[in-house]
Structure 1
Amino acid sequence: MGIQYDDFLDESYAPGDADLLCTFRLAPGEGMSLEAAAARVASESSNGTWAALDVESDISRLSAMAYDLERETNTVRVAYPPELFEPGSLPQILSCIAGNIMGMKAVDTIRLVDCEWPESVVSGFPGPGFGPAVKSEFLDATDRPALATVPKPKVGLPTSEHVRVAREAWLGGVDLLKDDENLTDQAFNPFRERVVDSFAARDEVQDETGERKDYLVNVTAETTEMLERVDFVHEQGGSFVMVDIITCGWSALQTVRERCEELGLAIHAHRAMHAAFDRLPHHGVSMRVLAQWARLAGVDHLHTGTAGFGKLENEDTAGINEWLRSDLYGMKEVLPTASGGLHPGVVPQVLDALGPELIVQAGGGIHGHPDGTRAGAMALRQSVEAWQEGVSLEEYAKSHPELRVAVEKWGSESPR
Structure 2
Amino acid sequence: MGVQRLLRFREPGSYASYSLAELLDGKVPEEKIRGQIVLIGSTAPSFRDLFEVPYTRFHRGESLFEVSGVEIHANRLATLMDERNGNLVQGWIMPGWGNLLLVVGFAASGLLLGERIGKQRLRILAVVLLTSGAAGGLGMLLWHHIWIGMTMQLMVLLSFSGAAWLRRGVESQHHSEQVQRLLGQTTSPAVAQQLWEQRDELLNDGRFKGQQLPITTLFTDKASFPSVSEGMSPRELMDWLNRGMEIYVPAVTQRDGMVNKFTGDGMLAVFGVPLPGDPSAEAQAALEAACEIKSGLERLNAELKSEGAPTMRIRMGIHSGEALVGSIGGAERLEYAVIGDAVNCASRLESHDKNRHEGELRVLLSSTTLELLPTEFRRSLGLE
Give 1 or 2: higher helix fraction: 2
**TM bucket by the smaller chain?**
under 0.3
TM-score (norm 1): 0.22
Where relative contact order (Cα < 8 A, 6+ residues apart) is larger, the structure is 1
Q: TM-score when scaled to structure 2?
A: 0.24
Which structure has the larger Rg over C-alpha atoms? 2
